[in-house]
Structure 1
Amino acid sequence: MIPGWAREVLRRPAGVFGAVVIALLVAAAIVSVFWTPRDPFAADPFQRWLGPSAAHPFGTDGVGRDILSYVLAATRTTVLVAALSSVVAALVGLVLAAIAALGPRWVREPLAVLIDVLIAFPVLLIAIMLSAVLGSSLGTVIAAVGIGFGVNIARVSRGEIRRVARAGYVLAARASGLGPVRTLLDHVLPNIAPVFIVQLSLSAGVAVLSEAGLSFLGYGAPPSRPSWGRLLSDLQDYVTVHPLTVVWPGLAITLSVLAFNLFGDALREATDPRLRSRRRIAR
């Protein structure tokens, strides 16, 4: 049985495109754990810079690695970063938003200012600072993206939590003796879930782009872990000589980010009652 919000998402071309690409991305990541056409790190100096063929559908790079195998293996890194950074962003955003919206005044007002200050720091800058202290690793990328976008989620969710917290049914629940934590979990969070889920879908797109950018700069995944950004970094000096080689990792990054963003937009349109009411009025 497909939930109503899922049917609404799949009625939109953007939602279908996003869902299909995300499903293919996850499927490729799972398949690459067990199988790739060739060893993604196997170098063959006699197979350098081959064009697309039946043996190497995406060609080979400057050390003779099969680009298709490397791109498939790198989807594991992309999916892992997108999933774990979204979990971190959800936890950070939820905790900050709840405290900034429902905490005592002497806590929530300074915290709201702190959130506004932290939003000014780009995710890439946070990741580079963390990498300088902790060293380059996938965990640093996940923490940086999760914290960086978690602050954005807190900014958006704070207003929604305050709006819902003033609703009559929430006030009635608190008047009946329900504690603040139970009120938050039972009444507030279910009513801000659409906004929260949309923000998480957008954070996944930011995570894909951030991981690729950080790996390109040398602050992301270690050399032992395949990454689309690292592959682009390895190929950048040869882009004018072998331009087709950079198309495949670049296309993978572009389609993944576009899919997460389009899916998030379709999800927002499907779950936001205010947008649905506006469309009814327009009709």
Structure 2
Amino acid sequence: MSATWLRELLRRPAGAFGAAVLVLLVLCALVSLVWTPQDPFATDPFHRWQGPTAAHPFGTDGTGRDILSYVFAGTRTTVLVAVLSAAVAAVVGVVLAALGALGPRRLREPLAVLIDVLIAFPVLLIAIMLSAVLGPSLGVVVIATGIGFGVNIARVSRGEIRRVARTGYVLAARAAGLGPVRTLTDHVLPNTAPVLIVQLSLSAAVAVLAEAGLSFLGYGAPPSTPSWGRLLNDLQDYVTLYPLTVIWPGLAITVTVLAFNLFGDALREATDPRLVRSRSERTR
């Protein structure tokens, strides 16, 4: 089944583009752990605000740092936040959705209200409140994004889990004596995986934007951690004098978020059996 999804995904231009960008992003993050074109934090006051050259293809900033090396190193922060935020969102979303769909009635209704209340809080607001208590860090971004999008996953997945839980094979598993946890892990979650995977890809896109926005505002990555949002913050006062410098981190954020969104949309089309069935009927 996974091979079929992969073929359907890569057959679409949006899916192929999204997958290619995300693979490139992960490769850059891994390579940046051991090598960057130059030291991303090395300053050179004699080469400030240089335009693109052979030594500095993206130019330099106001301290003489090589922008290419900094953007290159920032990929590992982006990948780390996206993966960890998606993991937190998956745990929060699955737990809330499972309890809201399969739990006792006295628990389902309060959980539905709690999810609606949490959805009303924007991710950035949650992160700023946590930063005020815990201090700015990438951990705050991960927790805030994970909780913020986890409740969205719970709301979307709750109805799907309830639908699958009422199917014949799940009822048969219960009648055979399978416990609720095993029923959930062996039968319910595998059959709701497409919905969860798509939502997690979208949560990763939100995490990239949240990290960049919070680092731009000073609530995200510390100065010792390369971040595209922090680089934009460092360059914002000079955007009218050196507009080319802000293009590179801004373009990196835009392309990454676009890739996650296109990948999620293509994945939904490739894994939704109703869409696959509809396409097969049209081609007959």
TM-score when normalising by structure 2: 0.98
In structure 2, the partner of 1:52 is 52
Is the counterpart of residue 90 in structure 1 residue 87 in structure 2? no
In structure 2, the partner of 1:190 is 190
- Equivalents in 1 of 2:64, 2:168: separation in Å? 66
TM-superposed CA distance for 1:277, in Å, is: 2.1
Pairing of 1:108-257 with structure 2 (within 5 A): 108-257=108-257
In structure 2, the partner of 1:38 is 38
Alignment gaps of 5+ in structure 1: none
In structure 2, the partner of 1:27 is 27
- Equivalents in 1 of 2:193, 2:138: separation in Å? 28
TM-superposed CA distance for 1:282, in Å, is: 4.0
In structure 1, the partner of 2:269 is 269
- Equivalents in 2 of 1:76, 1:173: separation in Å? 43
- Equivalents in 2 of 1:176, 1:73: separation in Å? 53
For the aligned residue pairs, the C-alpha RMSD in angstroms reads: 1.1
1:231 is paired with a residue of what secondary structure? helix
- Equivalents in 1 of 2:9, 2:278: separation in Å? 17
- 1:46-80: CA deviations, max 9, x gaps? 01000001000000000100000000011110000
- Equivalents in 1 of 2:96, 2:221: separation in Å? 28
Paired AA for residue 38 in structure 2: R
TM-superposed CA distance for 1:281, in Å, is: 3.9
In structure 1, the partner of 2:76 is 76
Alignment gaps of 5+ in structure 2: none
TM-superposed CA distance for 1:117, in Å, is: 1.2
- Equivalents in 2 of 1:95, 1:277: separation in Å? 31
- Equivalents in 2 of 1:24, 1:157: separation in Å? 30
- Equivalents in 2 of 1:3, 1:278: separation in Å? 20
Paired AA for residue 58 in structure 1: F
Higher mean C-alpha deviation, range 65-74 or range 2-11: 2-11
TM-superposed CA distance for 1:2, in Å, is: 7.2
- 1:207-260: CA deviations, max 9, x gaps? 101000000000000011010000001101111110000000000000000000
2:58 is paired with a residue of what secondary structure? coil
2:233 is paired with a residue of what secondary structure? helix
- Report the CA distance shift for 1:2/1:194 in structure 2 as closer, same or farther (over 3 A): closer
TM-superposed CA distance for 1:84, in Å, is: 0.6
Paired AA for residue 40 in structure 1: P
Paired AA for residue 33 in structure 1: L
Paired AA for residue 217 in structure 1: L
- 1:35-56: CA deviations, max 9, x gaps? 1111101111101000001000
- 1:176-207: CA deviations, max 9, x gaps? 11111111011100100000011111111111
Structure 1 stretches of 4+ with a deviation exceeding 6 A read none
Paired AA for residue 97 in structure 2: A
Q: Report how many aligned residue pairs link the two structures.
A: 283
